[in-house]
Amino acid sequence: MTRLPLFPEQASTVAGQVDALLFFLLGISVFFTLLIAGLIVVFMVRYRRRPGVDYVPETHGSLALEGLWTAIPFGIAMVIFFWAASIFATIHRAPDDAIPIDVVGKQWMWKLQHMEGKREINELHIPVGRPVKLTMTSEDVIHSFYVPAFRLKQDAVPGRYSTMWFQATVPGEYHLFCAEYCGTLHSGMIGRVVAMEPSDFEAWLSGQQPGEASVPPAVAGENVFRALGCGTCHRADGSGQGPSLAGLFGKSVTLTSGETIVADEGYVRESIIHPQAKLVAGYQPVMPTFQGLLSEEDVMRLIAYVKSLKAEGGS
Ligand code: CUA
C-alpha cells in the first residue's frame, strides 16, 4: 500500500492506526455497496414481469428480521464510534514529556519557535522517537497545519491556542501544508517537516543562527516584559498592584467571580489581551489591554517567560 504514489508514507505513531480505521470504513462501505447493488440486479432479473407469471406478493412482517437489521448496523456503528474515539483521545492528549514548540500561522507562512531558541519558517526540525507538542495560533485568519505522513491536521485559529502532538517514527522529510483556504497565496503556504535521529537533532538544535534568531522565547519574553513595564505592577513578592506571576503557570487561580480556573496558555493570553475578562480575586481592574500592541509571537514569548517563573520569585 505504501507503494501507491497517492498514499503518503506512515511516519508517526498514529499513522498506522488512522489508516487501519480508514480501511475498515472503506471495507464496510464497499461490502454493503456491492451487496445492495448486487441484490438489486439479481432481483431485477429474477422477478421481472413476464407473461403468465404474477409476482404480486404476500407480505408478512417479521420482528426477528427487523431486529436483526437494526442490531447489525447498530453494532457496526458502535465499533466505528469506540474505535475512532480511542484514536481521537490518543491524538488529543499529549504526553507530559512532549517537546513544546510554538507555532504562529500568518498570511502566508508558518513561524515556529523551539524553546531552546531556534526559530524556523516553513520548516520544522524534530527528533524521531520523541513526542512533540505544537501550541498554535494565527496572526490573521484560520490556517491549518497538515502533515499527511503523520496523518495529522489541526487548525491554527486567531485569538486562541490549539495544540497538536505527534511522535515521528521514521527519519526523513515530509510535506507540510496549510489545509485551510486562507487567501491568495494559500497554495504557497507549504513547507517541510524534517524528522531526524535524536543525535542529529541535538546537533542541529545547538547550531548557530545569526543574531536575535536564537534567543530562547523565555528570555525574549522577559525583554518584552521589561520593555512594557509589566514588572511595575506584577512584582514577584506580590506587593504590586497586579498579582505576582511567580509560580503562576499551571496553578489554580480564584477569580473575582468566585470561579476557579487553571492558568494555562489560553488564560495567560486572554489576561494580556483582555485583562478584565478574568480578574484575579482581590485585584482592581486597572491593567490596560495590549490588544493590537503585541504580535502573537510576542504573546507566546511572554507566556514562555511566565512559564519560566518559579514560585521562589525568580524574576
Ligand atoms: Cu494558510 Cu491556507
Summarised one tens digit per residue, pLDDT across range 244-267 is 888 888 888 888 888 888 888 888
- Looking at this protein, which amino acid is placed at residue 125? H
**79 backbone dihedrals φ, ψ, rounded to 5°:** -60, -45
pLDDT in tens, 214-228: 788 888 888 888 888
182 CA closest ligand 1 atom index: 2
Taking the C-alpha atoms of residue 214 and residue 204, their distance in angstroms, rounded to an integer, is: 12
CATH number of 217-312: 1.10.760.10
Which residue's CA is the nearest one to ligand 1's atom 1? 143
Specify the fold of 1-49+94-214.
Answer: Immunoglobulin-like (2.60.40)
End-to-end CA distance of the chain: 55
Cell reading at 162: 490549539
pLDDT in tens, 68-120: 989 999 999 999 999 999 999 999 888 989 999 999 999 989 999 898 878 88
Please write down the HEC assignment for all residues of 40-73. HHHHHHHCCCCCCCCCCCCCCCCHHHHHHHHHHH
pTM of the model: 0.75
Please give all residues whose beta carbon lies within 6 A of any atom in ligand 1, as ranges: 105, 108, 143, 178, 180-182, 186, 189
Taking the C-alpha atoms of residue 46 and residue 314, their distance in angstroms, rounded to an integer, is: 85
Taking the C-alpha atoms of residue 151 and residue 253, their distance in angstroms, rounded to an integer, is: 37
* pLDDT value for 116: 83
- Looking at this protein, which amino acid is placed at residue 273? I
C-alpha 293 to ligand 1 mean position (Å): 24
C-alpha 230 to ligand 1 mean position (Å): 34
Of 16, 177, 202, 191, the closest CA to residue 127 belongs to 202
The reply to whether 217-312 shares the fold of 1-49+94-214 is: no
**For the chain, what are the domain ranges?**
1-49+94-214, 217-312
Task: Give 179's pLDDT tier (boundaries 50, 70, 90).
Answer: very high
C-alpha 139 to ligand 1 mean position (Å): 12
